[in-house]
Amino acid sequence: MSPKTLISAALSGLLCMAITTPVAARGNVEAGREKAKVCQACHGVDGNGIGDGQYPNLAGQYEDYLLRALQAYKSGERNNAIMTGFVATLETQDMADLAAYFAAQQGPLSDLRHLK
C-alpha cells in the first residue's frame, strides 16, 4: 500500500467513527415541558414530587443525573415497575428533553449551576 492509500484508508476509518459514534443528545427545556405532562401526576407540575415523599423530586436535580436515571430504567439496570413502564415509550431525545426540563425547575434540590 502506498503512503497515500494508507492515509486515505486511515481517514475514511476516522470518518466512519465520526458517523457511527452516537452523539449525546442535547435536551431542550421547552420540548421537555410538553413531554413532562404525563410525569406530573407523580412528580408534580414543576418536578417537585407530590405526596409525602412518595415520589422523588426531580426539580433542580443535575440534568445528567436525571438522564442517566431514565437510561438506567430503560436498560433495566435500574428496576422499578412504574418507571419501567413510563420510559418504555420514550426515545433518546425524549429522555434528554425531560432531563433538561426537570433540571431547569426550582425546588429544594439544587446543583452548583449558580456558582458558574
Which position among 7, 14, 16, 82 is part of the footprint of ligand HEC (CB under 6 A)?
Answer: 82
- 96 contacts ligand HEC (rule: CB under 6 A): no
Half-sphere exposure of 68 toward its Cβ, with a 13 Å CA cutoff?
5
Q: Which is nearer to ligand HEC, 1 or 41 (CB)?
A: 41
62 is a contact residue toward ligand HEC (CB under 6 A): no
Which window, 2-10, 13-21, 22-30, 81-89, contacts ligand HEC (CB under 6 A)? Answer: 81-89
Q: Does 103 bind ligand HEC (CB under 6 A)?
A: no
Q: Which residue in the set 25, 29, 55, 71 belongs to the binding site for ligand HEC (CB under 6 A)?
A: 55
The CB-of-19 to ligand HEC minimum distance in angstroms stands at 30
Please choose, from the candidates 46, 92, 33, 85, the residue with its C-alpha nearest in 3D space to the C-alpha of residue 67: 92
Dmax (CA) for the chain in angstroms is: 71
Q: In this structure, are residues 100 and 58 in contact, taking their beta carbons and an 8 Å threshold?
A: no
- Grid cell 413532562 is found at 36
Determine the Cα–Cα distance for residues 88 and 115; give it in Å rounded to an integer. 36
Cell of 108: 429544594
Q: Does 42 bind ligand HEC (CB under 6 A)?
A: yes
Q: Which is nearer to ligand HEC, 100 or 116 (CB)?
A: 100
